[in-house]
Structure 1
Amino acid sequence: MMVDIANNLPVYKVENDMIISRQGDITICYEVELPAIFTRSAQEYEAMHQARVKAIKVLSPFTIIHQQDRFMRMPYREQLSPGDSFLSAAGEASFSGRPYLAQRSFLFLTKIPNGRKAASSASSVLLRKSPVPVQTLNPLFLQEFGEKAGAFERILRDGGIRLRRLCDDELAGTKGRAGILESYCFLSGMDERPIIKDVQLKDGIRIGEDHCQLFTLSDAEDLPALCGSRIDYEGYSTEQTRFSVGFAAPLGLLLDTNHMVNQYIFIGDGPKTLKDLEKKRLRLQSLSGYSRENGIARDAVSDFLDEAITEQRLPVKAHINVLTWTDRESEKQEIRNKVSSAMAKLDANAKLETDGAAQIWWAGLPGNAADFPMNDTFDTFLEQAACFFNSDGNYASLEKGWRLSERLYGRPVQVDLFDKPMQTGLITNRNMFVCGGSGGGKSMVMNHLLRTEYDRGTHCVTIDIGGSYKGLCDLLGGYYFIYTEDNPIRFNPFYLAKGEVLDTEKKESLKNLLLALWKKEDEPHSRSEYVAISNAITLYYVHLAKNPLIFPGFNSFYDFLMEEYLEVLENGKVQERDFSMSNFLYVLNPYYKGGEFDYLLNATENLNMLNERFIVFELDNIKSHPILFPVVTIIIMEMFISKMRKLKGQRKLLAIDEAWVAIAKAGMAGFVKFLYKTIRKFNGIAALITQEVDDLLSSPIIKETVINLSDTKLLLDMRKFMNKFDKLQEVLGLSAKAKAMVLSLNKANEPGRVYREVFIDQGGQDLKVYRNELSVPEYLCYTTEEDEMIRVQEYAKKYGSMAEGIKALAEVIEQERQTK
């Protein structure tokens, strides 16, 4: 027989952001923002649990706390923008359709009016032809409930649980969007358009095409013997560390199916409850002579009463149920197995409800908790009942940021490492320290981060040893400086880009370079020598202005010194002891045409380094060269300082990869110190990347400057350093929680997915682990495997560009995978 649901709907009206039932129950509704799963320690779970207990204790008797967590399997919808780059689009497309578990959590506080009769399975509103008319509401009743709810909300917020009160439209819905009532009745998302479905309650629950199953924990015999605020997650635990998740996590995000978890706590008249239990104990005492079971029950009630009185426990009634649904009848048994397995992790036994399922489901309607059948509850203390509240949420995602993936299901999330954390005070600088073992995925992480920052307009400069950024640089069309015998490294610090002038900073840069080429590191220069070089630079650019056909470079500068500046010195009667032009020209002659290093300072291409947004310096072949390495490092330092000071309002990033070689040199070490201390003032980011833990432990530059001035730390797989981890933990200042998270990296990766995990610590407060999962085109662009790099270059040459070559090769690889 079909019945209009409106005739049985217990909701009388929605007003003033509250649900009022036909029997006078008032419900205030909140959406709950829970901390992300896999991000908290045992102490933090305990603190949240205690906050819940304190918050519930401020509520008055005859209040119901109902938390409803909704988990729906959904496909990921790619987030594309018109200006997205080729790799951004490829990355988003690779995740399109990826199933994940979307979560929304709600908390309902229901106040029952005095004299309201407790419901049971036989007296549910669902069984009546029409609900009882609404009672008159007392204004004082409303005021008191509002004050208690406000105190409840403040305590939870202080405990790390954020509540947002739902408004009338979110409760009742609108023409274009379903409200919380509709979404519950028809198992739809709140952001979806309203769709009315048939609800069948005969022989189980069926909503539209979905077959529902209801599993309950309502009998004390089925409950776990022990409960707490958290449990161990074995997948991420090690011999040294225990990894924590919330006690109810197996029923939450870890249960991979469409489901809804309802947790109820009923606060009654405490003294009356204890009085009734005392009567029950006496009754069992009188019957204990007839049955051993009665004696055991008597002792249990007696222990309960003793604890309530001695420990000042609040006795409550509680209930937990899990509602699952699927549109395939064949999946029902598989879902039952999943729920049973989840319950077993809690050491609990769930009951599959049949006869009473309809009444329990109907009581789960927001605002109808007072109609819950009390014969399906169990007696316990508040501290134990609060353990079953879900404490874990999904990873949050911003509109724009660095695309990583949440750890559990791989849903892409946008992570902001720099702007929002600075605005909120989470970090005080944007500097980064990146560390991980060989093969842990450092180059993939840094390539991905650099490409993301480049797409956002950042000027990215990378000092590399190992060729990790060649593919990305070629794709972006940046400058790639590398030394080979056939094509040695070339610069032109004398070149001025169009619109650029010889300012004080450029002049100082050239003076420092020339002095470094002329004098040894420990050899001082005189004031007169400094002035002479300064005048030479000034007059050289006057000379260029008069002779526009002369190409700027060291060769033409050397010619100017020999042909014109020598005459200037003679006319000025500059003495040899004040400035030795002959010695200056002799020492610098190897950099002049025909000299051993005539290529170094006379480049005719890749000249506009100030305005080029992606530059890579590959120093592997010259890292031990006594002449080239110092000169190149000076050019890099001066170039980046020029970017810092001249590019107002633009983000600058300097990444120093495998940096121990570079900072081993005194000049570069001083530059790194200067950089980490001042770059924040110029909207800049300094990032140091290393895999050498021994250098990390021994280098004073890294320990005293880099780590202390890096509010963002990225750590990759560190299991190779397990025996040194205690020292590493001390140097990095990692907490016990951070240690457990770092050692859990890549321990339980999803089968069939290829990715590496990365631990991110911001300010020592926000700690998370993400997947760095890349699309095939991204992987091909970032790979450091020699055979793969050669193959990419071959396809790029064949198809005319790096982008087209990667696209073609990615298609070939996808076809190869499908045929296997």
Structure 2
Amino acid sequence: MSDGRVGIGYRVQGVEIERLSTGEYNKIGENVSQVLKSLEIGACVQMMGFYYYDQANLSMKDKNYYEQRFIHSFGERPIQRHEQYLFISFGEEKNKDYTLTNNWFGRGGRVFENTFKDISSYKRKIETIANHFISIVSIGDLSYQRLTEDEVMKVLCQYFNLDFTPDQYTIFKTFTPDKERLILGTDTVNIISMSGQPTNVNNDMDNGYNVSSPQLYALMNELEIPHVLSVTFKPLDTQKAYNKIEFEAKNIARLDFLMSEQHRAKSRDMFEFLNEITTNGNSLLNVSVQCLVWKPSGGMPPSGVPHKQIEDSIQKVMKAYREIGAESYLENLDTTNLFVSNAPCNSYQNFRWLLMDNMVAACYFTTTALLKSDKKGDLLCDRMGNPLLVDFYDTIRFENNNSLTIGVPGSGKSFTMGNLILQRFYRGERQIIIDVGGTYLSIFYAIPPDKCRYYEYDPEKPLRYNPFLVNYDEISGEFRLTEAKMEFLINLIATIWRGNSNLTNAERSILNKFLNQYFDEYNQQKQSTMPCICGFYDFLNTFQQENDGKDVYTKIEKSLNIDELLITLEPFAVGSYQAILNSDNNFDLEQPIASYPLICFDLAKIKANPTLYPVVGMLIIELSCDIIDKYPKVIKRIYIDEAWSMLDGLLGGFIEYMYRTVRKCEGTISIITQGISEIQNSSIGTVVKDLSSTVFILRHTDSNMIDKNVKFFGLNKHAEDLLKSLRKDAADKWREIFVKRADLINVYRVEVPSKIIPLLTSRAEERNKIREMAEGGKYFDYAINRFVEEWEAEYHPEWRFPTERRPKEHEI
């Protein structure tokens, strides 16, 4: 710098918003306090945050209708950007106190001595100071990357231009001082300084959502206007500063008989402050907190609305100071000087200071950053509405990618999961939904029929399937049982025979033997018919007739009741349910259905049938496994929504087996339920919880339900606060969700374009209305537009747009 100081800059990799707990903030505060206490006289530390807005500018090229709706909704939205820097400078050790008139800008940039005479020693000194400082404040995910000279120049140019586009290496805006503000080029700039500290200063405080946040949170990302936040720490000669305060305090005390109560209180505070310094052995620092706002002549508007007057931004900043309990002052004549004094590495020239000890000063150290977007994944938003990608299929960071979704009625389960399903469909992932009640039917109306299939299971028109069609060896002409298929057939027979009751080890062993014998006999006889449950039933009948009364039969009968087994198998072998499990081939299911990227089985019509429901459920799960095996390189997802009666007994054991193995073939299972009681009451509830790396908890308004979730998932106080903080839009355009991935916890906003909201509704009357407008799906886009127009007319008349015309018959 021209005053002889040298500086080093760092790009700060902050911790994501709302990630840290009170204890973690305190740990950071302790380290920062420690390093500030030992900071040498002549050094200066500046934290600088650039908060500005940009635009995604996403391309519509080669995008389908629904992808275009997402791009149109998010692509034109101003997106908050945040860049955080740390600058450490060092210069003359005599600790000169600058004022409005004697700092570099006040002197008109004139220098009256050789300021570079000690530059070599300063450069060595700053390296030592900076390395020590960074080593202490690098904690956990908080890290610092040193800037090159070119990068420092870029940051300087961005600051002096108040233009944060990359690769700037020239300052192209002119300074025009004004009595109330700075005119920078054609922009008007104001600075609001913190003039008084909050009564209580801590390393963290609750933000507007009652979640632990930095002391200055309201001036950071939650201040949703373009601004620059500059916080500077300047160490003082503690003894000299102490003596000065003590002298002033004693002088005030001598005039006690003339003082007002306000002056007496000030005197008491000064002596208490001095006592704390002495007792704790703290150091004293000058700290400056200043927020810069501007009204740009062009560019992105804040918060997606037309440019507001600079006065509105000023009021928002002053309100933010009040939120943290601080007093603020709007600079006027000194604005231009302070703007230059707050430049990167130049904040030693500042003259708006608040005196405090190192422990209090550490509370103003800013550490947080916006949520980071993954390179791929589902499109969600952070709490400020900034879109980002979240990869819920991360095989590197997490052991599995199974998920568990908890959402009471009205919390938005269909809204949330439907949004994810729709996005994943357009990404090319294969998905199978097992549902009860038509929750996702509207999505299928909106997707081309050759890409999806919705199967509402009807006992009158059952699925035709043959679980005995195991692997076929074309060379030997034999059917061969694998371990997985054997496990499936035993569980299927057990479900038909015993329902929810478990088999004994002896029973499982005998069934295993029977199945092997049946397939051996079938392969030897080279039968013309396919192996099936009817054939297995005949095999057991023959075995019973040929061996009844023999020792081998008597021995088996002691462990397995063959009569009982035959009676329960009869309806599926030759009785009323024989069409379900005796297909000559699986063409009806495996060939056409496997070709659809999105499939839904709706079991509402058989849910009340205790015999049929678990059997069909198991067949669908097995079918899902077969489809998963056929596409080994594509992500596959199975969703089980409100199908908890399936998760008991033997079928639960089969799903547990899938939970443990599906990850090996690029698959995931997602359980969706209304509450944790279903999990707790399930025989495999512990497995589902332990093997679900991702947990989605939707907004709960019942505090008792929140407490149960907290206890069940073992959430700490910070996670509990996040769970309680969930919000939703009054018009249901967006909702917040709590996401726990292993030990990583975040709150995301699920937001969709207005034209996609109708596809995600769980209200039967709305779904029926859309289908009626669409006339069976022929005019679905037209129906969506009509429905959205009526919906917006009711909730947001200012959003109304003309309905697209109904297409002519020849245009369909």
- Provide TM-score, normalisation by structure 1: 0.82
In 2, Cα distance between equivalents of 1:456 and 1:553: 39
Secondary structure at 1:719's aligned position in 2? coil
> Is contact 1:287–1:294 with CA below 8 Å preserved after alignment?
no
Secondary structure at 2:579's aligned position in 1? coil
Deviations 1:484-522 (A, max 9, x none): 366444435467999999554386478548855985566
In 2, Cα distance between equivalents of 1:205 and 1:516: 81
> Is contact 1:495–1:607 with CA below 8 Å preserved after alignment?
no
Q: Does 1:349 align with 2:327?
A: yes
Q: Does 1:395 align with 2:379?
A: no
In 2, Cα distance between equivalents of 1:743 and 1:207: 44
Q: 1:348 to 1:115 in 2, by over 3 A?
A: closer
In 1, Cα distance between equivalents of 2:604 and 2:653: 21
Deviations 1:214-244 (A, max 9, x none): 11124xxx332222222233x434xxxxx33
**Residue 794 of structure 1, CA deviation:** 3.9
Mean Cα deviation higher: 190-199 or 364-373: 190-199
Q: Does 1:26 align with 2:6?
A: yes
1:773 to 747, 751, 756: 751
> Is contact 1:112–1:370 with CA below 8 Å preserved after alignment?
no
Give 1:310's aligned residue.
279
Give 1:701's aligned residue.
684
For residue 216 of structure 1, what is the amino acid of its counterpart?
S
Q: Does 1:416 align with 2:391?
A: yes
In 1, Cα distance between equivalents of 2:30 and 2:393: 33
> Is contact 1:65–1:265 with CA below 8 Å preserved after alignment?
yes
Give 1:257's aligned residue.
225
2:173 to 176, 197, 213: 197
**Residue 324 of structure 1, CA deviation:** 1.1
> Is contact 1:482–1:488 with CA below 8 Å preserved after alignment?
no
Secondary structure at 1:661's aligned position in 2? helix
Give 1:210's aligned residue.
187
**Residue 165 of structure 1, CA deviation:** 1.8
1:231 to 192, 205, 210: 205
In 1, Cα distance between equivalents of 2:377 and 2:665: 21
**Residue 196 of structure 1, CA deviation:** 1.9
**Residue 707 of structure 1, CA deviation:** 1.4
Give 2:137's aligned residue.
156
Give 2:806's aligned residue.
none
Mean Cα deviation higher: 805-814 or 161-170: 805-814
Give 1:14's aligned residue.
none
2:412 to 441, 448, 451: 441
Give 2:300's aligned residue.
none
Give 2:673's aligned residue.
690
For residue 781 of structure 1, what is the amino acid of its counterpart?
L
**Residue 635 of structure 1, CA deviation:** 1.6
> Is contact 2:590–2:627 with CA below 8 Å preserved after alignment?
no
Give 1:175's aligned residue.
none
Secondary structure at 1:400's aligned position in 2? coil
Give 2:455's aligned residue.
481
Q: 1:513 to 1:295 in 2, by over 3 A?
A: closer
Deviations 1:511-568 (A, max 9, x none): 5488559855667756763244213654798748xxxxxxx796xx96x999xx99xx
Give 2:301's aligned residue.
none
Deviations 1:662-706 (A, max 9, x none): 113x1211123223333334433222211134334433421x211
For residue 416 of structure 1, what is the amino acid of its counterpart?
D
Secondary structure at 2:32's aligned position in 1? helix
> Is contact 1:108–1:367 with CA below 8 Å preserved after alignment?
yes
Q: Where do residues 114-133 of structure 1 align in structure 2 (5 Å cutoff)?
A: 114=93, 117-132=96-111
What is the aligned residue count?
756
Give 1:112's aligned residue.
91
Deviations 1:116-174 (A, max 9, x none): 744321023224455435503454542332133122212222154222222222222xx
Mean Cα deviation higher: 354-363 or 630-639: 630-639
Give 2:701's aligned residue.
719
**Residue 435 of structure 1, CA deviation:** 0.7
Q: Does 1:636 align with 2:620?
A: yes
For residue 28 of structure 2, what is the amino acid of its counterpart?
M
In 1, Cα distance between equivalents of 2:473 and 2:598: 20
In 1, Cα distance between equivalents of 2:193 and 2:701: 42
Q: 1:736 to 1:593 in 2, by over 3 A?
A: same
Secondary structure at 1:461's aligned position in 2? strand
Q: 1:616 to 1:290 in 2, by over 3 A?
A: closer
> Is contact 2:186–2:296 with CA below 8 Å preserved after alignment?
yes
Q: Does 1:321 align with 2:290?
A: yes
Deviations 1:82-124 (A, max 9, x none): 6755433322321232234322221111112345744321023
Q: Does 1:385 align with 2:364?
A: no
> Is contact 2:614–2:646 with CA below 8 Å preserved after alignment?
no
In 1, Cα distance between equivalents of 2:100 and 2:236: 19
In 2, Cα distance between equivalents of 1:489 and 1:418: 31
1:762 to 741, 750, 765: 741
Q: 1:473 to 1:255 in 2, by over 3 A?
A: same
**Residue 772 of structure 1, CA deviation:** 0.9
Deviations 1:199-218 (A, max 9, x none): 21133201122211111124
**Residue 248 of structure 1, CA deviation:** 0.9
In 1, Cα distance between equivalents of 2:782 and 2:308: 45
In 1, Cα distance between equivalents of 2:544 and 2:287: 100
Secondary structure at 1:125's aligned position in 2? coil
1:45 to 17, 20, 25: 25
**Residue 782 of structure 1, CA deviation:** 2.7
Deviations 1:60-88 (A, max 9, x none): 221111111222244x4254586755433
Give 1:11's aligned residue.
none
> Is contact 2:341–2:347 with CA below 8 Å preserved after alignment?
yes
**Residue 330 of structure 1, CA deviation:** 7.0
Give 2:807's aligned residue.
none
> Is contact 2:6–2:119 with CA below 8 Å preserved after alignment?
no
Q: Does 1:680 align with 2:658?
A: no
Q: Where do residues 237-316 of structure 1 align in structure 2 (5 Å cutoff)?
A: 237=210, 243-281=211-249, 299-316=268-285
**Residue 405 of structure 1, CA deviation:** 1.0
> Is contact 1:468–1:784 with CA below 8 Å preserved after alignment?
yes
Secondary structure at 1:158's aligned position in 2? coil
In 2, Cα distance between equivalents of 1:500 and 1:449: 41
For residue 714 of structure 1, what is the amino acid of its counterpart?
F
Deviations 1:251-286 (A, max 9, x none): 222323222121111113333333444454566566
Q: 1:594 to 1:723 in 2, by over 3 A?
A: closer
Secondary structure at 1:635's aligned position in 2? helix
Q: 1:511 to 1:297 in 2, by over 3 A?
A: closer
In 1, Cα distance between equivalents of 2:78 and 2:800: 24
**Residue 318 of structure 1, CA deviation:** 1.5
For residue 260 of structure 1, what is the amino acid of its counterpart?
V
> Is contact 1:429–1:680 with CA below 8 Å preserved after alignment?
yes
**Residue 803 of structure 1, CA deviation:** 6.6
Instruction: Name structure 2 gaps, 5 residues minimum.
Output: 298-306, 554-560, 802-812
Give 1:621's aligned residue.
605
Secondary structure at 1:385's aligned position in 2? helix
Deviations 1:276-312 (A, max 9, x none): 4445456656666776688766655443332212111
**Residue 743 of structure 1, CA deviation:** 1.6
Q: Where do residues 394-543 of structure 1 align in structure 2 (5 Å cutoff)?
A: 394-407=370-383, 409-419=384-394, 422-424=395-397, 427-473=398-444, 475=447, 477-484=451-458, 487-493=461-467, 504-505=481-482, 508=486, 512=490, 515=493, 525=510, 529-535=514-520, 538=523, 543=528
Secondary structure at 1:707's aligned position in 2? helix
In 2, Cα distance between equivalents of 1:330 and 1:786: 43
Instruction: Name structure 1 gaps, 5 residues minimum.
Output: 1-20, 173-178, 238-242, 545-551
For residue 217 of structure 1, what is the amino acid of its counterpart?
M
In 2, Cα distance between equivalents of 1:516 and 1:227: 65
Q: 1:289 to 1:791 in 2, by over 3 A?
A: closer
Mean Cα deviation higher: 444-453 or 145-154: 444-453
In 1, Cα distance between equivalents of 2:646 and 2:13: 45
The alignment's C-alpha RMSD in Å is 4.0
> Is contact 2:406–2:696 with CA below 8 Å preserved after alignment?
yes
For residue 313 of structure 2, what is the amino acid of its counterpart?
I
